[in-house]
């Protein structure tokens, strides 16, 4: 069985109940026009067979290449989204289906949301931060979690995240790295306690910037490498974000978003635009491939029961030079 077929199958979405599922980007609007479900998105793999496997297991190992664009992040989507400088991109994060009724992400997953931009393919120090939002309102009661971008903003807004293409950006192929971080277990560091640790949900979108812009991205950061164990944005007790200072134990009530500062060439504000209808599927088909501990399993189905037909080893392989994606027949 060819590896390409296995990887293509791995990005299929699921229409079954996934109570453990984690969020990832299902679609992208450009200036309010939907580009189609799954188009341009390097969807992460499922981590196990139905019905309990789920897509986008959190990345917790800060040294893993999966910090770049998640598992399968090196595999191109057949479609690249064309944009111009100044365009508004709206990412549609979801859990089980692409509807407003979807729960997007569990309310326990408080944390920041970030967006980076890099030439495609990435190089050393090529990811430039163009948007971020973290803890923006403190909790009313001691140890209440406050209002965080992942839950009080993106989840409450039906999974929508907005960012604008920098003004005057030079034409070319880029990856937009959007990321949610769950801090509900970040009171411990993953390198010391692998059962816990901050949870990272990166997802990359392929874009082609067109036009006559001349602005080049500055030097940025690398993934992996941008975040360090023990730094305040990674090791944090999220339940300390409270308005009161009369706490029973020492507790940090501020939060420092990890990574570099937002690039000065990014838009200072990104607002929600009116969105047109979703184009494409709002649910998805039963998945036939999954990756667990770098082993890719490909299955066929007898009824709803998966039958394993092939396995292989997955190892991310990032090209050093851009090559156009292979079109889907």
Q: Residue 323 domain-assigned?
A: no
Supply angle C-alpha 71, 102, 99, rounded to 5. 100
Q: Is residue 320 part of a domain?
A: no
Q: Is residue 238 part of a domain?
A: yes
pLDDT at 308 over 90: yes
* Per-residue exposure over 271-307, b if at least 16 CB sit within 10 Å of its own CB, e if not: eebeeeebeebeebebbbbbbeeeebbbbeeeeeebe
Answer whether residue 164 is part of any domain.
yes
Tell me: the pLDDT tens digits for 119-177? Answer: 999 999 999 999 999 999 998 887 788 999 999 999 999 999 999 999 999 999 999 99
What's the CATH number where 197 sits? Answer: 2.70.50.70
The pTM for the full model equals 0.92
For residue 199, is it within any domain? yes
Q: What is the pLDDT of residue 5?
A: 41
186: in domain: yes
Confidence of residue 245 (pLDDT cuts 50, 70, 90): low
In a domain, 328, yes or no: no
Q: How confident is the model at residue 1 (pLDDT cuts 50, 70, 90)?
A: very low
Give pLDDT, residue 53.
81
Instruction: Please report the pLDDT score of residue 74 as a whole number.
Output: 96
Does the structure show a pLDDT above 50 at 8? no
Total domains in the chain come to 1
Q: Is the dihedral of CA 142, 112, 68, 21 positive or negative?
A: positive
Q: Looking at 18-27, 130-139, 231-240, which range is the least confident one?
A: 18-27
Residue 16 pLDDT exceeds 90: no
Q: CA 121 to CA 185: how far, in whole Å?
A: 32
Q: Give the pLDDT band of residue 212 (cuts 50, 70, 90).
A: very high
Q: How far is 265 from 168, CA to CA, in rounded Å?
A: 9
For 213-235, the pLDDT digits (tens) are 999 999 999 999 999 999 999 99
Rounded CA-CA distance 284/97 in Å is 7
Average pLDDT over residues 187-193: 96
* Terminal Cα distance for the chain, rounded: 19
The HSE-up count of residue 153 (CA atoms within 13 Å, CB side) is 21
Does the residue 83 lie in any domain?
yes
pLDDT the model gives residue 200: 97
Range of the domain at 102: 3-313
């Amino acid at each position: 069985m060819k590896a390409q077929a296995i990887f293509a199958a791995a990005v299929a979405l699921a229409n079954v109940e996934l109570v453990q599922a984690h969020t990832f980007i299902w679609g992208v609007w450009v200036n309010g026009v939907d580009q189609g479900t799954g188009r341009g998105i390097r969807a992460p793999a499922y981590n196990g067979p139905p019905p309990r496997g789920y897509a986008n297991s959190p990345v917790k190992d800060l040294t893993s290449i999966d910090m770049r664009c998640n598992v399968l992040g090196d595999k191109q989507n057949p479609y690249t989204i064309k944009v111009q400088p100044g365009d508004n991109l709206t990412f549609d994060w979801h859990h089980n289906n692409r509807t407003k009724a979807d729960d997007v992400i569990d309310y326990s997953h408080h944390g920041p949301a970030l967006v980076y931009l890099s030439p495609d393919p990435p190089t050393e120090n090529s990811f430039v931060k163009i948007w971020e939002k973290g803890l923006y309102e403190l909790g009313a009661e001691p140890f209440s979690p406050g209002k965080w971008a992942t839950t009080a903003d993106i989840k409450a807004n039906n999974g929508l995240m907005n960012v604008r293409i920098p003004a005057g950006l030079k034409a070319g192929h880029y990856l937009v790295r959007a990321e949610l971080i769950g801090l509900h277990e970040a009171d411990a560091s993953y390198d010391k306690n692998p059962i816990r640790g901050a949870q990272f949900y990166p997802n990359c979108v392929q874009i082609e910037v067109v036009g006559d812009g001349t602005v080049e991205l500055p030097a940025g950061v690398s993934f992996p490498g941008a975040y360090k164990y023990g730094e305040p944005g990674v090791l944090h007790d999220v339940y300390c974000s409270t308005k009161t200072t009369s706490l029973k134990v020492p507790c940090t009530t501020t939060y420092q978003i990890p990574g570099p500062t937002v690039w000065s060439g990014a838009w200072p504000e990104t607002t929600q635009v009116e969105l047109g209808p979703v184009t494409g599927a709002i649910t998805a088909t039963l998945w036939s491939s999954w990756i667990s501990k770098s082993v890719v399993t490909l299955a066929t189905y007898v009824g709803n029961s998966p039958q394993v037909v092939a396995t292989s080893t997955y190892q991310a392989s990032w090209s050093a030079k851009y090559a156009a994606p292979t079109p889907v027949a």
